[in-house]
Amino acid sequence: MRLDSLSSVQFKEVMAKKPVVLLPIGATEAHGGHLPLCTDSVQPEYVADAVAKLIGGIVAPPIRYAHHSSTKNMPGTLSISFLTTMHLTIDVLNSLIDNGADKIVIISGHAGSSHINALRQGCAEVAEKRAVKIMLLSDYDLVDEFPIDQTGDGHGGMVETSRVMHICPDLARKAPCRGDYVDCGYLIVSDPERCMPMGYVGNAQDATSELGKEINEFVVNRLVEEIKKSFGGLYE
């Protein structure tokens, strides 16, 4: 159930039942020539919708902007600052809490370390001041548990391409070849995109919708498990 599809009266009735609120945070980011700019958005939104159906939760309006570093200079990447990301998280969380939310799960489709740190700081500030339980994770924290060799796979690679092929078959396709990562070591560079000359990393040419379906279902089921664990006995 999408929060913004409800009327104000319906929303009040739903929130009175204290459902888990899922907030998908995506990005508008380059992923090579074979994936859409909404790649990091459609994945957590798919997961949030599927999980909400399984647990009787509600999905807050998605955010499709993020803080970027390695892809910030690539065509199509729209980035917001670290502080904006943090403050946006704080404001949205506080507004959800003001509307009755007491259990919130943030699922970030963009897993960049700076972006996740901004989200984490925002969540921590709210959790210290409000009576609320907050979970924060990237769906790729769970993807990493999927039983397949992911060595050398990364941004826009086989796993991510497979997932998007399953979710948005009309927007994604196999890449023409492998995307290599160029390691700059400890060097701080002004053009971090040099590390991904193809715009993606891994064997994206081997992606399949069937693999994507398996991974997406795995992530949904694992997140349900984590929600039950974190919010304690709610669904027993």
Residue 60: band (very low, low, confident or very high) from pLDDT cuts 50, 70, 90: very high
Ordered strands of the 133-138 beta sheet: 58-59, 21-25, 103-108, 133-138
Residue 196 near residue 29, CB atoms below 8 Å: no
Residue 236: band (very low, low, confident or very high) from pLDDT cuts 50, 70, 90: very low
Sequential DSSP letters for 84-123:
HHHHHHHHHHHHHHHTT--EEEEEES---HHHHHHHHHHH
Q: Report the distance separating Cα 218 and Cα 223, nearest Å.
A: 9
Q: Residues 66, 70, 75, CA angle at the centre, nearest 5°?
A: 75
Domain spans in the chain, listed from the N-terminal domain onward: 3-148+215-231
Which CATH homologous superfamily contains domain 3-148+215-231? Creatininase (3.40.50.10310)
Average pLDDT over residues 121-137: 98
**Residue in 174, 175, 181 with CA at minimum distance from that of residue 153:** 181
Q: Residue 164: in which H helix or E strand, if any?
A: helix 158-167
The whole-chain average pLDDT of the chain stands at: 96
Q: What is the pLDDT of residue 188?
A: 87
Phi, psi (rounded to 5 degrees) for 32: 75, -170
The separation between CA 62 and the C-alpha centre of its own chain, rounded to angstroms, equals 10
Burial of 43 (0-12, 13-18, 19+ CB in 10 A): buried
Strand (E) positions, 66-208? 103-108, 133-138
pTM score, whole prediction:
0.96
Q: Residues 91, 92, 98, CA angle at the centre, nearest 5°?
A: 90
